[in-house]
Structure 1
């Protein structure tokens, strides 16, 4: 097993963080472009948001394929090939002639983007010891947030110069170059034991995870939290593109620098969980997300940015620890267990627009905040339940 802070740990963690970064620049590059694409194609806020929803939905479905498949054939090949295909599809998006073709390519891209997230944490679970796993997962999820920031900033900046096509070309080129580095950095696994793929066994593994209350709670918690967090960013772009802010695509892209709060939150999550407990820190992260949402109700752009930064810190702290919770408590078939967490996670993202759209139509951003708090109360109750489970387990 690879121990924390060794040379092998740094190399493997760097590779997986790079891969995570590349996945998320591709996934989120359209988000600052949504107001402009809405006007260009004459579609509704819900319609243009499908550019995000279809990719996260297909990504979620892909996890059901790549997770069990990785338990049979290994993890590295899946991560390498799907990452390269994702970069190629970003290049193809630059030449999409219609909104419908744009949606179709995003659907395909979402599927191949599922390859690395489906198996990366399972790879770490196989190769790293427990201490190394906690530290690596925090950095890996921090790279998620950096990729999300970069995709939106690069997308918004490139679109300001050459339109949406330039945004997709820039991200596609970055991905192809990064993929070459990823292939060279990622070491071959040493502790992986393949299992012959059997559909019945794969389904049985998934059902076994779903029958575990401890895992199921983490699945719902991660999915609902992400439903709120990521779709808040979509609706905030519509708010800030309108009067009195009237931010252009490049300005909207810079709003996503608030994700740096998430990078910090995920990075310190392991230390906080070691001092207190994972479940108590998950609950604290949800409370922080609720407080940040309250701050975004202010009219001041500076306070809105502060609220979004606090949101990112709280969300990524909770998400990082919920992810590692699954890795710790899964009984075998870790690839399937981790993939199932991400299925719930990205399904949440894909349906979030349908949940928040009525609140947006009701009273714009104030409605989005109310819709957010309603569901965050549910995840806070789940977090408290996990904390009680931890306390009972510690006393037995």
Structure 2
């Protein structure tokens, strides 16, 4: 019987294959998160068009992020069988087509159904991207390749919201979704052409419920339980601020235009800087000593948005962005550290709670808006921030790993 062939070497920095893969991952991150969050600045327009409350309109976001959270737990196992690259291509193509279809949805419930399906499809990218890069790129080059995917994700989250706002300002929300979906389709095709075929993928057998069965040891770790709670609370506060800031700024006393509200999403650039800076700081002085700092920054930013002057409201949203991305960068790295050999499963559960926070708490914040206006949103997010700070205090007491 012939001996198995050794796996080919991973793609190294500077090689043609590496350049193709990193550009493809940049496109994947951009397409995924622009498609996922493009509806966020359109919530006031959807509420007006369909005569909905703010929390009702927020379902356009939550109906995608909730299924995405659940889909992440399945997509990793599916990719073990069908391959990383084919699943990512199918996910991006399907999400783009569903977004184009949402632009022509005949009614509100049809739009929600299409958003739900888009969320399920999009789960195939964040759940698989890290595994695809880790398999195909040599160890020394993995960090820079993943960095481009994360950069594309941040740019996509900002760009999708900004493009949707600008198009909606001169046309309407249907054209905004159509253009985001069209761009997503072009980026999916670019990914298909650029992403190198898998050379080191080994098809896995095993049980579809491996992730669920492997959750036991992870959830017995008090540190991971707290970090999962942190992802749920912090993402919930962050998404709530951005979900309802549009309602606040479009209404009295500010009465900004749709394009001006969309410009607020340029504050995401601060998040990219913050995540890198806090990640480096935590690596140097310790996560336990640093984690509370960005959480406190987020709380201060939320409080600042309660001020009346417009510049203080915008400054507060920027400070919330700095705090959230700083805390997220520390927590996600901390999960990888505490997950040990099961870090892939640990990360999948972290993303599950992260997107469930966006889905559940993002919509719950709409109830606060409907009943108490922006003051209610601020109070709700402050409560989430205080709970996250309490969790940070408990994390300090968790026994460190050997």
TM-score by length of 1: 0.89
Q: Which residue of 1 aligns with 2:192?
A: 183
Bigger Cα displacement from structure 2, 22-31 vs 137-146:
137-146
Corresponding position of 2:118: 109
Return closer, same or farther for 1:285/1:194 CA change in 2, 3 Å cut-off: farther
Asked if residue 313 in structure 1 is aligned to residue 322 in structure 2, the reply is yes
1:101-180 correspondence to structure 2 within 5 Å: 101-124=110-133, 140-180=149-189
Pairing of 1:1-396 with structure 2 (within 5 A): 12-124=21-133, 140-188=149-197, 192-332=201-341, 334-389=343-398, 392-393=400-401, 396=402
CA contact (8 A) 2:47 2:57 kept: yes
SS in 1 for 2:214: helix
The alpha carbon displacement at 1:128 in A equals 6.4
Larger radius of gyration: 2
What's the secondary structure of 1:328's corresponding residue? helix
- Paired residue secondary structure (2:374): helix
Return 5+ residue gaps in structure 2 as ranges.
1-8
Aligned CA RMSD, in angstroms, stands at 2.7
Aligned partners of 2:260, 2:384: CA distance in 1, in Å? Answer: 29
Q: 1:244 to 1:231 in 2, by over 3 A?
A: same
Residues 216 and 138 of structure 1: is their aligned pair in 2 closer, same or farther, counting only changes over 3 Å?
Answer: farther
CA contact (8 A) 2:66 2:356 kept: yes
Pairwise CA distance, 1:22: 0.9
Separation (CA, whole Å) in 2 of partners of 1:321 and 1:129: 25
1:109 Cα offset (Å): 0.7
Deviates further, 205-214 or 254-263: 205-214
CA contact (8 A) 2:32 2:156 kept: yes
Cα separation, 2, equivalents of 1:128 and 1:218:
29
CA drift at 1:348: 0.8
Offset of residue 116 of structure 1: 0.5
Task: Give distance in 2, aligned partners of 1:274 and 1:115.
Answer: 30
Q: Name the CA distance, whole Å, in 1 between partners of 2:20 and 2:278.
A: 21
Q: What is the Cα deviation at residue 385 of structure 1?
A: 3.6
Aligned length in residues = 393
Three-state SS of the structure 2 residue aligned to 1:330 is: helix
